[in-house]
Amino acid sequence: MLTVETRHAIHPDHARAMDTAALRSHFLGTGLFATGEIRLLYTHYDRFVLGGAVPGDAPLVLDVVAETKTPSFLDRREMGIVNIGDTGTVTAGGESYEMGKGDVLYLGMGTGPVTFAGAGRFYITSTPAHASYPSRLITVEDAVKVQMGAAETSNKRTIKQFIHPTVMESCQLILGYTALEDGSVWNTMPAHTHDRRMEAYLYWGMAPEARVLHLMGEPSETRHLFVANEEAVVSPSWSIHSGAGIGEYTFIWAMAGDNVDYTDMDFHQPADLA
C-alpha cells in the first residue's frame, strides 16, 4: 500500500502567523512508519520526498508515484535509504542489499522499482537528479565520522556522513545522521540557516515518552515543534534548525538544493535569536 501527501512551500511571512496546529500541519511529518505500507511526503521544497517503508510479513514495492509523472519513481530521481530497524533487504536494479540497523543505501537515477523486505524500518529520502551515479551500500563502518561539540555546552556529538562528498558522489542529495553523547541534549547550537538548500530531519532512537524540542523559523521570529520518535521535520531554507531532547536520540539529516557543500551555512548566535 502506497500513500503520498503533498506539502506546499510556505513563505516565512505566512509562517509568522501560524498557530501550533498550522505549524505542525505544514512542517511536521507524523505516522510515516506503518507495517505493510509505504508512506511518503512529497514536498515543494526542492521537490524533496521523504517517507517510510515497513515491509512486515510481505515485501513492498515502490515504483509508480503519480506525483512525479514518470513511469517509475527513480526515472528522474536519486534515493537515499536508512534502515532504522532490524536487518532487512532492499532490492533494486537487479541487486539485493542486506541492510543492518543504521546502514544507508544510495540508489542512482534510473534504478527502477525498489523492493523492501525483511524486518527493516526503512526511512526514504529522494531528490530530483540530473545524472546517474552508481548505487552503493554504505555501512555504519564505512561512514566518515566527525566529532563535534563539548560536554560543557551540552552538545557533544558524532556526525556520521554517508551520502556526502567525503564518501561518494551524488547529484544533490546529501545525507547522514548525528548521535548525541550521554548527557548532551543540543543537536546544533549555534543555530544556522543555508539559503541555498532545504533540509529534512528524522528523529529516531528515542523512548516513546521522550520528545525533542525542535526550533525553527526565521532567526528573528523563532517557533518550535515538539517531536516524537520517528517523526520528521521539513526545514525550509529560511528557517533555523536546532533542538534539544529529553534523553537519548539521533537525527537523520538530508539536504537538497544548489550545491553539495556541507559547510555552506550561515550561523546565528544565541544572542541574535528572538
Residues contributing to the annotated binding site: 192, 194, 199, 241
Spatial distance between the Cα atoms of 259 and 245, rounded to a whole number of angstroms: 30
- Grid coordinates of 37: 505500507
Half-sphere exposure of 103 (CA within 13 A, CB side): 16
Annotated binding site for Zn(2+): 192, 194, 199, 241
Amino acid present at 118: G
Cβ burial 215-251 (10 Å sphere, 16+ → b, else e): bbbbbebbbebebebbbbbbbbbbbbbbbbbeeebbb
Number of helices (H) and strands (E), helices first, in the chain?
2, 23
Sign of the four-CA dihedral 192, 170, 163, 82 = positive
DSSP state of 181: P
Spatial distance between the Cα atoms of 95 and 72, rounded to a whole number of angstroms: 17
Contact 92, 133 (CB under 8 A): no
